[in-house]
Chain A
Amino acid sequence: ILNVEQSPQSLHVQEGDSTNFTCSFPSSNFYALHWYRWETAKSPEALFVMTLNGDEKKKGRISATLNTKEGYSYLYIKGSQPEDSATYLCAFEPGTALIFGKGTTLSVSS
């Protein structure tokens, strides 16, 4: 059974804090690693798709890194804002459909 683990499960920070989350995935049969942002009452939206070991991607204040050899990815948010409050999902793609972690729920207080 392929397992994708995310930590922490939830996180509460103050506006302006920087934060990061971890995603662990199987290091075999790797094709791609995805990150999604999921706001309450909406549907998940793709943030990044990473395929190469050592990949780093950035979108505004959010960035992600990838280590396929050891099976982990980090998502960083610099200077958190209340609008960053959401659940962040990572998903492992072994060449078939995505296998999702349970997400990290971020709450940012102003």
Chain B
Amino acid sequence: DAGVIQSPRHEVTEMGQEVTLRCKPISGHDYLFWYRQTMMRGLELLIYFNNNVPIDDSGMPEDRFSAKMPNASFSTLKIQPSEPRDSAVYFCASSSGQGADGYTFGSGTRLTVV
């Protein structure tokens, strides 16, 4: 398996633009998580899905953020409109179940909003 695949690796965009981050989880993993990494707050959970259904989105900062998982092999995290404070590394991770072998993380997307 190629692991969790995220794209793009780096994104630089102007304030106000729409940004879409993509994730392909490991085949057979029922859980998919989106985390954001910042120096101040560390790894923060944004949202997670179980069998393609959003379970907890309480970490999504505001209405500018949205996430979808249209099928078991694909998820998107969208920011519209983007702001400089959204600059961070966004990680996608997948897991086969609670308390299982741990999460497998993608390589992350480094987002810079100027």
Interface residues of A (CB under 8 A from B): 31-32, 34, 36, 42-46, 49, 51, 89, 93, 95-103
Contact = CB atoms under 8 A, between A and B. Distances in A.
B42 A100 contact: yes
5 contacts: A36-B102, A43-B91, A93-B99, A97-B45, A97-B48
B42 A49 contact: no
A102 B108 CA distance: 17
Given A43-B107, A46-B103, A49-B100, A89 B91 contact: no
A97 to B, nearest CB: 5
Query: What's the dominant secondary structure at chain A's contact region?
Result: loop
Given A31-B98, A46-B102, 5 more contacts: A44-B43, A46-B101, A96-B55, A100-B42, A102-B42
A43 B106 contact: yes
A44 B45 contact: no
Interface of B: 33, 35, 42-43, 45, 48, 55-56, 91, 98-108
Nearest to B108: A43
B105 to A, nearest CB: 4
A70 B42 CA distance: 24
Nearest to A6: B42
A42 B106 CA distance: 9
B60 to A, nearest CB: 13
A36 B104 CA distance: 10
Contacts of B102: 34, 36, 46, 49
Nearest to B34: A97
Contact of A100 (B43, B48, B100, B104): B43
Contacts of B108: 43
Task: Pick the 10 closest A-B CB pairs, nearest first.
Answer: A46-B102, A32-B99, A43-B105, A102-B42, A100-B43, A97-B48, A97-B45, A44-B105, A49-B102, A43-B107
